[in-house]
A and B are shown apart, each in its own frame.
Chain A
Amino acid sequence: MTRSGVALLLILLYAGVSTARWVRRAAAWPAGSAQDEITAYESRFRLLRSALPARGVVGYLGHPEPTGPTPEDSNAAALLHFRRYLLAQYSLAPVLLIESTDHELIVGNFDPESLPPVPRGFRLVRDFGDGVLLFRRAPS
């Protein structure tokens, strides 16, 4: 075989290995009823969306606290906290979620099993289940 033939064979081998990978990926075709993680997470906010104003800024409180016994645990908790916040913002757009309690309304996004305290100066408007809550500033 000539040098150019060997070179061509090399590219074909490279392509063959990738093609086998693509075939394996294609074979992992998800079932029609399977729901992806983000769509499932978004569904938690469906009822809350209708209770929020069409646009504007609301506060946000989330879990877990970005702390842990080790720096690695803290980082992991902070990343999870941030991911949940981002997904809540993605779900509830165009309402802007700001991580603070300086707003009239606050969205609470907690673990379903947790019993979060009502933030000071606020009252619970509604518990939408699955750890999703809406608080409103209490009249002073």
Chain B
Amino acid sequence: MTIALAVSFAVSTCTGLLLLWLAWPRTAAWSWPLATSLGAGLGSGLSAVLLFLWMLAFGPTRGFPLAEGGLLVLVALAAARRRGARHTGAPVTPSHAPASRRLVVVVIAFLVTLGAAGAAFVSYLRRYPHGEWDAWMNWDLRARMFFRGGEAWQTAFSPALPWSHPDYPVLLPSLVTRTWLYAGGETLVGPALVAGTFTFATVALMAAGLSALRFTSQGLLAALVLLSTPFFILHGTSLYADVPLGFFFLATIVCLALQERSGGATYRFAVLAGIAAGLAMWTKNEGLLFTLALVAGLLIAGLSGSGWAISRRQLLAFAAGLVPMLVLAAGFKMALAPPNDLLSTLNLERTFTRLTDPHRYYLVLRAYGGHIAAFGSNGLGSATAVLTAYLLGLGVNRSELGRSWVRAVTIALVLLLAGHFMVFVSMADELSRLLKSSLDRLLLQIWPSALFLYFMVVRAHEEVRSGQPVTGRAEVGHGVRV
């Protein structure tokens, strides 16, 4: 069973990695760490979509692993055929900054924290292998419905169990079902493997993305802060969908950053960003709000900047990646999922009363302020306080801050928070309880993206030491290099 689960992980990761190899622009240098971390998450997302389509056609049958294995072979053959015509696996532009003592310290701190967090993650899952409430009342319940239901797997969307949110997208239950199909039976290691994949792929993507786009020290520091955020690791073990959703948010933003570094020579990274945003929609309903906020951010940043023609092409490429997932998600909502409980109980009069109640705005605003200020508290202080002090110590890299994608993502994250704010104000029946139970999870979803954005614009130690606001390794002499 352990080997079968390892194979399930390897198949999705290798498929994702090889597809990235095929899609990676020829003008951008290949980065194994970046592509592997991105491939692990995007490959899992692709596997979830494939299994859903497979179930629509054949049900949750044991033939799926074979079919997926066949797909991997085809992708591997395509990658091998194109090997000569593509980038040759050259590393990312070599660092122009020699390794300093500080970098050595950061590397050691990262490795120690990674080891400790990994051990704590496994220990916690051994104690609570079923995860927390939402895992067994929603995500893994649905996976059991799929796996045990056979031909009747669509019972999982029965409106008879409204508390299980049967309208929620099914990326996570599909992935859990997939592990059981590989293993040949239900095992609690399946959901744990899915959780571990997304939790540590997020850390790896953070480190690899910033290392490729800025400096190794910057990437490791960001990953160190993420690993040190107690709620990130603990919530990863809860087997909820928030950490996977956070991965897809981060993947979208990393691809947008890569896109801007590529200039107008290629729009493949924008297509990948669209795919990642689509997978976010396939993970949780919040993914739709994120995508809308991001499109608005890209539009606003494009219109306010000087290169509207490039922004327009970038948006079109983003849409090209997004549309297939949008069609799938829309089809699911229209054909299989019952109405959303929040929307179906929406009452115009009651909503208007809530919207005109200033006390509700005050309550939500106060909760936002309190939860953001305290986010990532670990006994020493909150992560937001530590990062504020760090920013004061290092300062901002103005050339990074002025980039179009930074404006777009900043606008998107603000819009996303504003959107959640209005949902709390207008829809929540028990406002205090809902704020208490879900606000930290909503913040956790955007935490990796916010950290990535922060470490992209804050000055690196290498820049401070050289006294120059250099723009990082990606642009030194290579306008289109990643």
CB pair B109 A15 closer than 8 Å? yes
For this complex, into which size category does the number of interface residues on chain A fall? 35 or more
Most chain B C-beta atoms within 10 Å of own C-beta, residue among A10, A14, A26: A14
Contact A90 B140 (CB under 8 A): yes
Cβ of B368 < 8 Å from any Cβ of A? Answer: no
Q: How far is the CA of A38 from the CA of B156 in the complex (A)?
A: 21
- What residues on A are CB-neighbors of B128 within 8 Å? 36
User: Is A68 located at the chain interface by the 8 A CB criterion?
Assistant: no
CB < 8 Å: which of A6, A83, A90 contacts B393?
A6
Which residue of B127, B150, B152, B188 has the most chain A CB atoms within 10 A of its CB atom? Answer: B127
B69 near A: Cβ within 8 Å? no
Q: Which residues from B are CB-within-8-Å of A51?
A: none
CB of B469 within 8 Å of the partner chain: no
Flag the segment in A17-25, A106-114, A118-126, A130-138 that touches B: A17-25
Q: Quick check: is B330 within 8 A (CB to CB) of the other chain?
A: no
Q: Which chain B residues lie closer than 8 Å to A98 at the CB level? A: 160
In the complex, what's the smallest C-beta–C-beta distance from A50 to chain B, in angstroms?
A: 13
What is the interface size of chain B, counting residues whose CB is below 8 A from a CB of the partner? 60
Find B225's partner among A14, A27, A90 (CB 8 Å cutoff). Answer: A14
CB distance from B295 to the nearest CB of A (A): 34
Chain B: which residue is nearest A31 at the CB level? B126
Residues in B whose Cβ lies below 8 Å from that of A22: 113, 116-117, 119-120, 233
Q: Tell which of A55, A57, A86 touches B136, judged by Cβ atoms closer than 8 Å.
A: A86
B386 at the interface (CB under 8 A from A): yes
A interface secondary structure, majority: helix
Contact A21 to B378, CB < 8 A, known contacts A14-B383, A36-B128, A39-B130: yes
Residues of the B chain whose Cβ atoms lie less than 8 Å from the Cβ of A71: none
CB distance from A37 to the nearest CB of B (A): 8
B455 vs chain A, min Cβ distance (A) = 11
B152:A36 contact, CB within 8 angstroms = no
Q: Which of B130, B163, B228, B381 contacts A38 (CB 8 A)?
A: B130
Do A25 and B123 have beta carbons less than 8 Å apart?
A: yes
B464 at the interface (CB under 8 A from A): yes
Contact (Cβ within 8 A) B116 A19: yes
Option from A11, A36, A93 in Cβ contact (under 8 Å) with B145 = A93
Contacts of B133 in A (CB 8 A): 83, 86
Q: Which A residues are CB-close (under 8 A) to B122?
A: 26
CA distance A55 to B105 in the complex (A): 58
CB distance from B41 to the nearest CB of A (A): 23
Could you jot down 6 A-B contacts, CB within 8 Å?
A: A7-B393, A18-B113, A18-B229, A22-B117, A89-B164, A94-B148
Q: What residues make up the interface of B, taking CB atoms closer than 8 Å to A?
A: 102, 105-106, 109, 112-113, 116-117, 119-120, 122-124, 126-130, 133, 136-137, 140-141, 144-145, 148-150, 152-153, 155-156, 158, 160-161, 163-164, 188, 221, 224-225, 227-230, 233, 378-381, 383, 386, 389-390, 392-394, 461, 464-465
Beyond A18-B117, A89-B164, 7 additional pairs, beta carbon < 8 A: A2-B464, A8-B102, A10-B386, A12-B105, A15-B227, A22-B113, A90-B130
